Structure 1
Amino acid sequence: MTLTGISKENFDDVISHCQSIRSTKNRSLRTCIALLLVKLRTGLSNQMLSTLFNIEKSGVRRALRTARKELTETFTPNYVGFGHLSRRDVIENHTRPLAQEIFGSIVEKPAILVVDGTYIYIQKSSNFKFQRRSFSQHKNRPLVKPMVIVSTTGYIVSVLGPYLADLKNNDANILKHSIKTNVEDIQDWLQQDDILVVDRGFRDSIDFLDSLGIKAHMPAFLPKGHKQHTVDEANSARLVTKIRWIVESVNGRLKQWRYLQNVVPNTQIPYIGEYVCLIVALCNKYRRPLNQGNQDSDQILGAKMKYLASQRNMLQERVESEALHRRISSWKALDAEDCVVEFPRLSPDELRNLTVGIYQLKLARSYTTEHLSEDGDYSIMVNSEIPDVLRVRIQSRHISSKQYLLWIQYSSGSVTGWYCQCRAGARVVGACAHVASVLWYLGYGRHTESITGVQNWANYLEDAAVIPELMDESESEDSATEE
């Protein structure tokens, strides 16, 4: 598993697809396939593989070429591509019930796919035209872009490309090109009312997909001049991200094969597509789906999220109508032990029920570590005129000069509302990471025996911004007097 990414039993199954490779005096069939899998999994150089396998470097190159051709012809087509499984198979066996509940239809279930591009870095080329077309202004380095199409369970349906990386090859143009050129008969596979879940990079392809009868779900853009999404925009974006995260996890799984994570030599560019498809085929065949979901719990969660998406943020309206964000003098900072004794204790399950996910809770410990004061308490602000609402100021984790105010409304037994001034802070389908961190600390973290902080590695480094004084003022005065 460490060297090849698959178990011994899986390796034997791969070997069963490769009977046409003949053994030589320098390497056997198993060694030939093992060389390629170790190369992809570890990203080792041919020189290192030559040392490990005790084969000359020229023999390693020949073995890698032979194994790549054989697996590309006999193994890969069975487990990746629109032709290797039907649309009905994706709907019945590779669609999470939560996705059908949120975006689909109970009567006629559509095919729901999640689409995103990934990056494979390459060397800078001495061919100036190719250098310009392979340079990504987004990543500021040369790369190629495969387009990954996955189901909502994490099963990889197909990988398109790889494509160039210039402005003409953005995600929207790649998707339109694939459909217009009917790559892998994608036009016959997709049908009217099927659903594609995408990110904002596909904005220029939305009208094209609509003309084909394909529904695209994408998070809304923040209008120019606005600092925060509306409640409806933030809620709809949360519905999209609840389904779209799967493609990011799939890309992370693919990059576990170090060959795709390292900088690929330009001499290997002709074979990048074959290597990517081979790794995808190995994942589809031998790895478990990232998230199959549960029929009952997914339907309940989906119905809950759709209901919440139609609600208003009553606390936001209260903050704006009563100008709670302007009445600075009315809010007093108190110790957490004194001011939030009545704040309800929350179990991990109750926290996940409030945040409708775990990503925000994963960030809670990091936010809490930064905002704990010397005596170990959050800086909580309360207003004597509003006993059921507390206010907290949270530092942005991205921008040092930016802070957000947030409000949480609660009773003795439950949390009844929240609102944060960040971009997504108005949503009621779950909570932003700032609100989630306060809920985690006040409802759960401060009641545990100890809160394990996140290590600050800056303590082991020098800081040029801090210049210690060589002597204090009294020493300066004494030295001046002596002189």
Structure 2
Amino acid sequence: MCGVHNIRATQTRSIRTCIAILLMKLKSGLDNQMLATLFNMTKFQIRRAVHSARRALMKDFVPRNLGFAHITRNDIIDSHTRPLAQQMFSTVGSTPAILVLDGTYIYIQKSGNYTFSRRSYSMHKHRPLLKPMMIVSTTGYIVSVFGPYLADPRNNDALILNHSVKSNTEEMKSWIREDDVFVVDRGFRDSEDMLTDLGIKVEMPAFLQKGKRQLTTEEANCSRLVTKVRWVVESVNGRIKTWKYLGKTLPNTQIPYIGDYLRIVCSICNKYRPPINTGTFEDDLAIATKMTMLAKQSNELQSFVQENGLDKRSMKWQKLDAEETSTCITFPKLTEDEIRELTIGVYQLKTAKSYSSEHFTDDGSFEVLVSNEIPNIISARIQSRHVSSKKYSLWVKYDTSILSWYCTCKNGARVVGMCGHIACVIWFLSYARHQKEEVREFGVRDWTELVEDAARTVDFSDSEDEVLVENQEE
């Protein structure tokens, strides 16, 4: 590892031991007392070893593996950009650098300094923390880390990015070029104008307009294109937090070194860990072509539902146990791989299992709605995973295959993939109900009955009557 020659060996520990102590501290999160016991050293010696290793790695190893200066723009484009992202976000004849940005969190203790306590308190997480800004490629390669920053409203994601660009942190302005693409979430909305002035293209999920309950088909489709690429930064953040020292609440005495520790971990990930994305070139191009083609289409089933009043109460639907659909309707039978081609991702399949387990009734049935007036269309009402009082209505049109779908949730009008509610119904009807009954839960278990519930109804009428009779007899 580069930089180890800057560490001085002593009688109590070698250079190898010094690096091992630091890496074990970061990976396991053990305190100095436990490390001293494991390495047969004193706490003071452990502290000196960590200090020496940190300084040596920050001097040589980190600059070689992290920061805008350590890698050229062409290297990011050629070696660390997914063909899927280039296909979806680049124009004809251009090969922009595509970067994904997001803030992450390093939790710290509450401070006795009230000014710092207020400014490090996150209203979003409801606890004190510091915010590093992660800048990664579409394969998960970490280009740079800015910060850490404070966590008050004056240090939101947009303002952090604005500050970094205006102060030209790591001379990033000379690295980026016009028509480069920044893929971000909605928290960067206040940076959009500044980035546009610099000629940078901003890809961000759409906002739900005031007074509306649902994104349009075009907005939902474009948002899905963004999330298909943006997830990689969340995976990078998760990979970093596997280093348990960065995932726990750090004492405030470590605040001066948090940035160094984070950069050391990111440099190690860049140097020794494989890319997060493992898709092949051909698969990426095929998925990108499919998604861009679907993004231009409208949701025909949505128009049919609204024009024919299928979402009105006057429309008569008949409840049907999903087990009975084999005799009443010919819903296509699919494999999980075929369903994944419809969802264009695995997340919806994961949530489908949880949604399905909630919609089993006491007798083990899963209800769907059918109408004799509308052939080859089923309907269902799926409980929201977040709000108990909200259910979403959905419709699925089928023949020998799944033709179209529409849901009343915020993202339910999209045709680039589908929401989790639609995936739940399709997954159960086309796959899960054909499996053996003993594996229907698919790993989803309800723990409610094992925990006390104050809202559970208790009938005290019998015991009260007995007490009344006893008192009268006395």
1:136 aligns with 2:122: yes
Change (3 A) 1:343 1:478: farther
Q: Which residue of 1 aligns with 2:163?
A: 177
Q: Find the residue that maps to 2:389 and give its secondary structure.
A: coil
Are positions 1:224 and 2:210 aligned together?
Answer: yes
Q: Residue 401 of structure 1: CA displacement?
A: 1.0
Residue type of the partner of 2:405?
W
Residue in 1 aligned with 2:264? 278
Q: Which residue of 2 aligns with 1:414?
A: 401
Mapped partners of 1:258, 1:328: distance in 2: 56
Match for residue 4 of structure 1?
A: none
Deviation string for 1:376-422 (max 9, x for gaps)?
221111111012111111000111111111111111x1011111111
Change (3 A) 1:378 1:467: closer
Other-structure match for 1:10: none
Of residues 361, 371, 374, the one that matches 1:386 is: 374
Matched, 1:439 2:426: yes
2:374 pairs with 1:399: no
Measure the CA separation in 1 of the matches of 2:413 and 2:315: 24
**Selected match of 1:259 from 224, 227, 245:** 245
Alignment of structure 1 residues 304-315 onto 2, 5 Å: 304-315=290-301
1:361 to 349, 370, 375: 349
Aligned length: 468
What runs of 5+ residues in structure 2 fail to find an aligned partner? none
Whether 1:469 aligns to 2:427 is no
- The corresponding residue for 1:3 is none
- Structure 1 segment 97-136 matched on structure 2, within 5 A: 97-136=83-122
Aligned to 2:449: 459
Q: How far is the alpha carbon of 1:375 from its aligned partner?
A: 3.0
Question: Match for 2:203: what amino acid?
Answer: H
2:234 aligns to what? 248
**1:423 corresponds to which residue?**
410
Instruction: Give yes or no for contact 2:3–2:59 (8 Å, CA) kept in 1.
Output: no
Stretches of 4+ aligned residues off by more than 4 angstroms: 470-483
CA apart distance, 1:467? 4.2
Paired with 2:452 and 2:431, the residues of 1 have a C-alpha distance of 35
- Is the CA contact (8 Å cut-off) linking 2:299 and 2:414 kept in structure 1? yes
Q: TM-score, normalised by structure 2?
A: 0.95
- Do 2:129 and 2:151's aligned partners in 1 also have CA atoms closer than 8 Å? yes
What is the alpha-carbon distance in structure 2 between the residues aligned to residue 472 and residue 372 of structure 1?
33
Question: TM (normalized to structure 1)?
Answer: 0.93
Aligned partners of 1:98 and 1:293 also within 8 Å: no
The separation in 1 between residues aligned to 2:39 and 2:173, in whole angstroms, is 46
Question: What does 1:134-173 correspond to in 2, within 5 Å?
Answer: 134-173=120-159
Note the alpha carbon deviations across 1:148-173, whole angstroms, 9 max, x for none: 00000010110011111111111111
Secondary structure of 1:459 counterpart: helix
Aligned partner of 2:334: which letter? L
TM-aligned CA deviation for residue 288 of structure 1: 0.4
Q: 1:341-382: per-residue Cα shift (whole Å, max 9, x none)?
A: 410001122101111111111111111111112332211111
Counterpart CA distance in 2 for 1:453 and 1:64 is 43
Match of 2:185 in 1: 199
SS at match of 2:287: helix
Residue 477 of structure 1: CA displacement? 12
Aligned-residue sequence identity (percent) comes to 54
Query: Could you list the per-position Cα deviations for residues 161-192 of structure 1 after superposition, in whole angstroms to 9, with x for gaps in the alignment?
Result: 11111111111111111111111110000000
CA contact (8 A) 1:369 1:453 kept: no
CA distance in 1, matches of 2:465, 2:367: 37
